[in-house]
Amino acid sequence: MTTPLVELRGVYRTFVKDRQTIPVLQDVNLSVQPNEILCLVGESGCGKTTTGKIIVGLLEASAGEVLIQGKPRSAYRRAEQAQLRRDYQIVHQDPFASLNPAHTIEQILSFPLLRHKLVKSRAELRRRIWELLTMVDLTPPGDIVNKYPHQLSGGQRQRVSIARTLTVQPRLIVADEAVSMVDVSIRIGILKMLHRLRDEFGMAIVFITHDLALAKYFAWRGRIGVMYLGRVVELGPTPHVIGQPAHPYTRALLQAVPEADPDVTRRKQPMRLRSDDIPRLTAIPPGCAFHPRCPFYVGRVCDVHVPHLDVAEGFAQQVACIPVQQGQLRPYIDEQAGG
Amino acid sequence: MFGLTTIASPQGFFIGALCGLVPLGAGLYYRQWRAGVGGFLACLLSGFACGFLGGLPTILMSYAVVLSYAYVNRQDPFTSRAALEEVNFEETRVEQLQRQLANLGRGIRTSWRALTRNRAGFLGFLGIMFFVVVTVFGPLFIEYEGAARLDRRQPGARSLIAPPSYEHPLGLDWKGRDVLSHMVHGGQRLILTSIQAGLIATVIAVVLGSLAALLGGVVDSLISNAANFILTIPSFPLLLVLASLVNLDSDFLLALLFGVLNWPTLMRAVRAQVFSLRERDYVEAAVALDLGVWHIISREVFPNMISYIAVNLIFTIRVAMYSIVGLVFLGLVPLSEPDWGVMIFTGRQQGVLFQPQAAGMLLAPIVAIALFQLSLVLFTRSLEEVFNPRLRSGL
C-alpha cells in the first residue's frame, strides 16, 4: 500500500465562539491515497468543510495527528513545507467570493506562476495561461483573459478557480461544494472536467458535497465518507455505501434523495426518523450522536457508548454503529441504487 | 509636495509643447488624430504648469492612451481565436512594452469614463480643476500686490478699502491692494498644506490599521488603545494648544501636527475593513497557493480598500483645510501673505465686518474655501466609481 497523501488520525477540532467551545470535529480518521477520489457527504454544519481545510493545511487540528505523506507537517523542513502547501489546493464553494474582484483573469492566474517561478519568460507565462484556460474548457481563452471575475458566469468563475489551483500542479485538490452554487445544467460539465483533469494529472480529489446523488455520480470509482455532527459514520467504496448502506443515517439520506423520475420518487418509502431536529453542535447527544433520531435505536447501548468506525460483518465498508457492528441490523439493499 | 508650490512660467509653455510632440507624433503615426491632439494639449497644460515634472508623466500617460486606441485594431495573439499551435506568444521587448502601455492606456480611459459618468462627481472634479488652474495659471496674468497702495486713496475717503469696480473685480483691501490678486496667489499654499495633512493622516491610518488587523494580539490592542486615547481628546482645541506652544514656521510641520492627531477614525475603519477582507475566500486561496504575506496585503487586500481609502483621503483633506484655516483665523500660526486664511484673519482684525463696501475682502476667501470644499465632497462620488472595477464594468 502506498503512503497516503494525507492521513487524519483521531483528529479533533474545536472553535471558540462567544466563549463557548464548539466541537466541530471529533475523532476523525481518514486517509487519502494518491489519485483517489474521496467524497465527504453530510448535511451543513457536520464538519465537511473543516475536514477539507485541515486536509489542505489551512486549519490546524486541535488534537490528533495529521500526517502528510507519512510525516507530520512540522517534521518537514521549511522549503519542503512550502512545497507541501502548494501540493494541496482547495476550490471554494462560492465562485463569487473565491476570485478577487480587483484583478483580471490573466492576473489571477499569473500570480502563482510568477511567484513560484513556474514560467521563465513573459511569453511562456502567456502560453501557460492559455493552456490552463483551455484545460478547464474556457475557450477561446482570448475572450476570458482580460475580463474581471464579475463579468463571468458562476460556472466560468468556478473553472477559473480550478485553473488557478492547477497553476501549481497540486497532488490533491479539495473541491468544497465546488458545484453547489453553479447552475444545475452545467454541473455535470464541471464534474466531468474534474474527472478528466484527475486522469490527466494523477491528482487526488476530495469532493465535499451535501448532495448524495452528486457524490454517487462523482465518486463511483472512489470512496464515500458520510459525516454526521463532526464524526465520520460510514466510510467505504462508493458502490457499497450506496448499494448496501450500513449506518441508519446513510440509509435515511439515501431514501431521501429524490430521483429524476417522479414515479420512482413516489414509490420510495422515506425512512421514519424518530425526530427531524438536528442537534446543535453545542449540545451533541451522548453516545451515538444520531441516537435521538435513529429508528433502530437500542436503549442503554446507543445513548451510552460512542461507536467507532470499524468493519461490520456482512459489509465491505467501515461503519460507526454498534447495532450494525453486532450484527443486529441486517444489510439493507436499496433496489433503486446500485445502478 | 513638501513645500513645493508651482507657478506657471512662460518657459513651461515651451516645455509642455515639447512634451506634447510625443503623443502628437504617435497620434499621427497610428492615425489616431483625436487621441494625439488630446495628448498634445494635456502635455502642454501640465508642462506649462509644472515644467518637466508635470510634463514627463503626462507624456507617458497620453502616449499610453494613444497606444490603447491603436491596439484596438491590432491583433494581440492572446485575444485571437486561433488554436494554440498557431499562436505566437513570443514578442520583442518593444512590443511587450507597447502592449503594457496600451493596457495602462485602457485603464486610464475607463477611469476617465467612470469619472465623467457621474454628473455630480464630474462637477466636483471640474470645481477642483478650476481652483488648480486659477492658482497655478492665474499668477501668470495677475501680478501680486504685496505692499500698501496709498496712492489709491480716494480724495475724501477715510480708508483705502473700496468696493468692487471694473479694474478691481473684488475690490480693494485695507491696504488698498487688489483682493483678486490675493485670491489668485493665496490659494495654493492652503490647498497644498491641506493635501499634505490629509496624506499624512491617511498614510498613518492605513499602515497602523492594516498592522493592527493583520498582526492582531498585542499590536492590535496597543494601536487600538492609542487610537481610543487620541479620539477622547478634542483634536481642534489640542491643535490650538500645540500650535501656540510649537513654533509652526513650516507648512509641513503644521500638516504633520494635523496628521498625527487625525488618524484614529480612519484607522478604525481600515482595521475593520482588513478584518473583513482577510476572511475572504480569495485570501484563503492565496494562502493555499503560498503567495506570501506581502502579496496578500498589497495585491489581494489593498486593491479592495483603495476606493474607500481615496474617499476618506478626500474627506480628511477637507477637514484639514478647515482646521488650518481655523488656526490661521485665530492667529496661532505665523501669518504670511498671500493666504486665504490670512485674508479672513486680517479682514476681521481690521473691522471689515462692519463695512459693507469691504465685503469682497472677507467674502471672497470664504466663498472660495466653501466652493473648494463642496467640489471635494462632490468629487468623492466619482472617485468611488473610478476605483471600483464592478462599477467600471459595462463600459
Query: How many other CB atoms are found less than 10 A from the CB of residue A271?
Result: 17
- pLDDT for B84 equals 59
Which among A92, A112, A148 is the nearest to B389, CB-wise? A148
- pLDDT for B393 equals 52
Looking at residues A167-180, what average pLDDT do you find? 90
- C-alpha–C-alpha distance, residues B118 and B385, integer Å: 8
- pLDDT for B196 equals 92
Name the more confident of A300 and A68: A68
Q: Does A283 fall in a domain?
A: yes
Question: Residue B294 burial (CB < 10 Å; 0-12/13-18/19+)?
Answer: exposed
DSSP states along B245-304: HS---SHHHHHHHHHHHS-HHHHHHHHHHHHHHTTSHHHHHHHHTT--HHHIIIIIIGGG
- Express each pLDDT in B241-273 by its tens digit: 887 787 777 788 888 888 988 899 899 999 998
Q: Which residues of A touch B (CB under 8 A)?
A: 56-58, 82, 85-86, 88-90, 92, 94, 97-103, 106, 111-112, 115-116, 122-124, 126-127, 130-131, 134, 140-143, 145-146, 148, 150-151, 161, 164-165, 167-168
Name the more confident of A171 and A323: A171
- C-alpha–C-alpha distance, residues B226 and A321, integer Å: 56
- pLDDT for B169 equals 78
Which among B284, B299, B389 is the nearest to A111, CB-wise? B299
* Residues of chain B falling short of pLDDT 50: 1-4, 394-395
Q: Does A13 fall in a domain?
A: no
Geometric angle at alpha carbon A205, from A201 and A211, rounded to 5° = 140
ipTM for this prediction: 0.86
Distance from the first to the final alpha carbon of chain A: 29
Minimal Cα distance from A151: which residue of B?
B393
Q: Does A141 fall in a domain?
A: no
The three-state (H, E, C) secondary structure of B118-170, written as one string: CHHHHHHHHHHHHHHHHHHHHHHHCCCCCCCCHHHCCCCCCCCCECCCCCCCC
Distance from CA of B391 to the nearest CA of A (A): 10
Minimal Cα distance from A93: which residue of B?
B281
Which residues on adjacent β-strands are paired with residue A228? A231
- pLDDT for A157 equals 93
- pLDDT for B369 equals 93
- C-alpha–C-alpha distance, residues B124 and B371, integer Å: 9
Range of the domain at A262: 238-339
- C-alpha–C-alpha distance, residues A49 and A153, integer Å: 24
Distance from CA of B24 to the nearest CA of A (A): 28
- pLDDT for B336 equals 77
Looking at residues A92-100, what average pLDDT do you find? 89
Q: Does A265 fall in a domain?
A: yes
- pLDDT for B83 equals 59
**What domains sit in chain B, N to C, each tagged with a CATH number?**
10-117 (no CATH), 142-392 (1.10.3720.10)
Alpha-carbon torsion, ordered B287, B290, B291, B295, to 10 deg: 50
Q: Does A49 fall in a domain?
A: no
Q: Does A67 fall in a domain?
A: no
Name the more confident of B88 and A89: A89
Verify whether the Cβ–Cβ distance A115 to B292 is below 8 Å.
yes
Spacing of C-alpha A294 from chain mean position: 25
Read off the pLDDT band of A338 (50, 70, 90): very low
Which among B78, B91, B284 is the nearest to A58, CB-wise? B284
When mean pLDDT is compared across A109-123, A209-223, A317-331, the lowest value belongs to: A317-331
| A108-144 residues labelled b (16+ CB within 10 A) or e (exposed) | bbbbbbbbbeebeebeebbbbbbebbebbbbebbbeb
Measured between beta carbons, which residues in chain B are less than 8 angstroms from residue A94? Answer: 281
- pLDDT for B137 equals 82
Which among B78, B281, B300 is the nearest to A142, CB-wise? B78
Measured between beta carbons, which residues in chain A are less than 8 angstroms from residue B89? Answer: 123-124, 126-127, 130
- pLDDT for A267 equals 73
Pairing state between β A318-319 and A88-91: unpaired
Distance from CA of B14 to the nearest CA of A (A): 39
Minimal Cα distance from A110: which residue of B?
B291
When mean pLDDT is compared across A85-89, A281-285, B157-161, the lowest value belongs to: B157-161
Type of residue numbered A253: L
Asked if B259 contacts B201 with a C-beta cutoff of 8 angstroms, the reply is yes
Residue A13 cell numbers, joined: 477540532
- pLDDT for B3 equals 39
Measured between beta carbons, which residues in chain A are less than 8 angstroms from residue B281? Answer: 92, 94, 97-98
| B146-178 residues labelled b (16+ CB within 10 A) or e (exposed) | eeeeeebeeeeeebbbbebeeebebbbbbbbbb
- Express each pLDDT in B139-186 by its tens digit: 878 878 777 777 777 777 677 777 777 877 777 777 778 888 888 888
Spacing of C-alpha B11 from chain mean position: 25
Q: Does A193 fall in a domain?
A: no
Indicate if the alpha-carbon torsion angle A254, A37, A190, A177 is positive or negative: positive
Give alpha helix (H) positions in chain A: 48-56, 78-87, 105-115, 122-135, 154-166, 184-201, 212-218, 238-243, 248-256, 262-267, 322-325
Q: Which residues of B touch A (CB under 8 A)?
A: 76-81, 84, 87, 89-91, 96, 280-282, 284-292, 295, 299-300, 303-304, 389-390, 393
Minimal Cα distance from B389: which residue of A?
A102
Q: Does A112 fall in a domain?
A: no
Type of residue numbered A323: P
- pLDDT for A102 equals 87
Name the more confident of B110 and A37: A37
- Domain total of chain A: 1
Minimal Cα distance from A104: which residue of B?
B389
Pairing state between β A204-209 and A37-41: parallel
